[in-house]
Amino acid sequence: MTSTSSSTSSLSSTSSLSSTSSLSSTPSLSSTSSLSSTSSLSSTSSLSSTPSLSSTSSLSSTSSLSSTSSTTAELPKWTATGSLNDARHLHTASTLANGSVLIAGGWNGVIYLTSAELYNPLTGTWTTTGNMNAGRQYHTATTLANGLVLVAGGQNNGYLTSAELYNPLTGIWTYTGSMNFVRYSHTASMLANGSVLVAGGYNGSLNAARAVHTASTLVNGSILVAGGQNSVSAYLDSVELYNPTTGTWTITGSMNVERYGHAASTLTNGSVLVASGQNNGYLTSAELYNPSTGNWTTTGNMNVSRQLHTASTFANGFILVVGGQSSVSNSLSSVELYNPSTGTWTTTANLINARRCHTATVLPNGKVLVTGGYNGVSYLISAELY
């Protein structure tokens, strides 16, 4: 039986968890470790295979909503875009400096994938790029200030400490320093100084810890880690704050509901929205963290209970929650929008394909790209745009 750790590590080049799934038999890690990387990219470099996006490109499907807009207005729609080259779930998605999206790793039902591919938003097509050195799922991926992408940890036939860097100019992955602890289903957060904080996850030792939690960057640069599951598979309502200046963790107000496999979004007013997840059942509840008081207050419930979904923030402040599962056998196509002004959720157009453990990326043109995932029967190769 594997377990969770409470260690945390600071990486000057690590990554973020887009999707995680629960393993009740494998407890979690709260350890933190540090990696640094000296490689850099010229700020003027470009990718010939993935042309950059014009800053004036516009979004027709996600036009701004005012807090008084009517829910009877015409709904945006999902449209199919180019399919991935490999079906996958539990992968990562990272936006590169030129606007293309890098998809890396995951699981296709047969093997842990080393493959990576690039999405060009201008053409809606995917091209393969260099393979990672290690196949992995449940890893994190972070785009660094120098343009490189740092992938850290994850799982293949074992649990990983390894980390590697992707260079968009060459399309090549190279190993960088390993983490101090094996971990998967962890989080990775970019700090203001360019370091990456990796926290929690599952490993192989019994420590008080958490995995399948969320990590949100507050306006003041602190990292808010909320909920998750610990080494004895207990669901957590506890919340901690990491101070990058002192390198210390402090306890802050607990959530009103224990949850893991939820989603968290930092709102434009600085508060943090946590939505859905699972404890003894699948949740519709949502709550808001106030950094000024350290307290949580409930907000409007979602219309559909879900876990292992994604949450994306639009420029107008609305939050788009996509897919997930409402039971082990039921992946969701339902999609909802949260209006921070009213604290309410409204349903919007369903996905073309139900999916969980997918990724969702806000493109420079304002559209949301959803890729891969699992529909309860098959691992998905499809991608769609909202």
- Please state the three-class secondary structure of 149-168 as a single string: EEEECCECCCECCCEEEEEC
Confidence class for position 226, pLDDT limits 50, 70, 90: very high
Residue 279 within a domain: yes
Residue 83 within a domain: yes
Classify each residue of 165-194 as buried b or exposed e, where b means 16 or more C-beta atoms within 10 Å of its C-beta.
Answer: bbbbeebebeebbbbebbbbbbbbbbbeee
C-alpha distances (whole Å) from 364 to each of 2, 99, 146, 245, 315 are 40, 6, 18, 31, 10
209 or 99: whose pLDDT is higher?
99
Q: What is the pLDDT of residues 99-124, one digit of tens each?
A: 999 999 999 999 999 999 999 999 99
Helix (H, G, I), strand (E, B) or coil at 286: strand
Co-location of 270 and 282 in the same domain: yes
Residue 62 within a domain: no
Residue 358 has pLDDT above 50, yes or no: yes
- What's the confidence (pLDDT) of residue 68? 35
Residue 111 within a domain: yes
Co-location of 283 and 176 in the same domain: no
Residue 259 within a domain: yes
Confidence class for position 231, pLDDT limits 50, 70, 90: confident
Confidence class for position 51, pLDDT limits 50, 70, 90: very low
Q: For residues 278-294, give the mean pLDDT.
A: 98
Co-location of 123 and 153 in the same domain: yes
- What's the confidence (pLDDT) of residue 244? 97
70 or 306: whose pLDDT is higher?
306
The order of strands in the sheet holding 187-190 is 8-11, 196-199, 187-190
Amino acid at site 101: V
Residue 293 within a domain: yes
Q: For residues 36-58, give the mean pLDDT.
A: 35
Q: For residues 141-147, give the mean pLDDT.
A: 98
Residue 23 has pLDDT above 90, yes or no: no
Question: Mean pLDDT in the chain?
Answer: 85
Co-location of 178 and 197 in the same domain: no
Q: For residues 141-148, give the mean pLDDT.
A: 98
- What's the confidence (pLDDT) of residue 209? 81
For residue 145, the surrounding DSSP H or E stretch is none
Question: Where does a domain end: 286, 304, 322?
Answer: 304
Confidence class for position 383, pLDDT limits 50, 70, 90: very high
Residue 65 within a domain: no
Pairing of strands 202-203, 79-81: unpaired
User: What is the residue range of 91's domain?
Assistant: 76-184
- What's the confidence (pLDDT) of residue 203? 85
Q: What is the pLDDT of residues 147-161, one digit of tens each?
A: 999 999 999 999 999
16 or 170: whose pLDDT is higher?
170
- What's the confidence (pLDDT) of residue 247? 96
- Total number of domains constituting the chain: 2
Residue 76 has pLDDT above 50, yes or no: yes
> Model-level pTM?
0.83
Question: Where does a domain end: 269, 304, 339?
Answer: 304
- What's the confidence (pLDDT) of residue 57? 33
Residue 365 within a domain: no
Q: For residues 12-39, give the mean pLDDT.
A: 37
